[in-house]
Amino acid sequence: KAGVTQTPRYLIKTRGQQVTLSCSPISGHRSVSWYQQTPGQGLQFLFEYFSETQRNKGNFPGRFSGRQFSNSRSEMNVSTLELGDSALYLCASTRERGETQYFGPGTRLLVL
């Protein structure tokens, strides 16, 4: 069974731009969560989607948003990028809410 896939793997943007990251969960998994990982803050929860609905949200500004499609694929969007948004963005999927999360390889975003 294929694992979680994330695209793109690497991205370079400039301040003020916006970016969209994509995550395809393991087949049959319905929940997708997003995390931001930085050296200073560690792994921080962004949001969780289940059945196309946001079920949980972390403590991030409104510039961070996401959505989930009927096939469980998810996208997250960051608008008006700031230098501090440079991070590894990880997506994780679970079959049902509350089960073990399986992570994708991540998207490394660099904001210049």
Site of interaction with other proteins (CB under 8 A): 33, 35, 42-43, 45, 48, 55-56, 58, 88, 90, 92, 97-98, 100-106, 108
Rounded to a whole number of angstroms, the minimum distance from the CB of residue 11 to other proteins is 13
Residue with Cβ nearer other proteins (35 or 64): 35
Q: Which is nearer to other proteins, 15 or 55 (CB)?
A: 55
- CB closer to other proteins, 13 vs 108: 108
46: tokens are 């962004």
Q: Alpha-carbon distance 108 to 73, whole Å?
A: 19
| DSSP assignments along 51-80, one per residue | TTEEEEE-S--TTEEEEE-TTS-EEEEE-S
Say whether 21 sits in a helix, a strand or coil.
strand
